[in-house]
Amino acid sequence: MTATVGRSETTTAPPLTRRGGRSRETILFLIGLALIALHVLDDNFVQPQPGTSPGDHLVSGLVPLAVLGLAAARHRRLV
């Protein structure tokens, strides 16, 4: 009886990285979050609805920005 041992596992290449060791996926994710954050800032504080001041939009502007910040901070742990 002859037993053969072979490697049945396939190795995959690590994701392509840029400076800082970040993958393209991470870079695109962070760019997307930055664009969403820019839109939230613009919508709530730079160009609020007519008849309202930027101070009227503190909660509706800061809560989404905090959530986006948490998503950016936790993305590396999730990938």
Cβ-based neighbours of 25, under 8 Å, separated by 6 or more: 15, 79
Give yes or no for a contact between 66 and 27, defined as CB atoms under 8 angstroms apart. Answer: no
Neighbours of 22 (CB within 10 A): 18
Inter-CA distances, 62 with 33, 68, 71, Å: 14, 10, 14
Confidence of residue 64 (pLDDT cuts 50, 70, 90): very high
Whether the per-residue pLDDT at 17 is higher than 60: the answer is no
For the entire predicted model, the pTM comes to 0.67
pLDDT value of position 31: 94
The residue extents of the domains of the chain are: 21-78
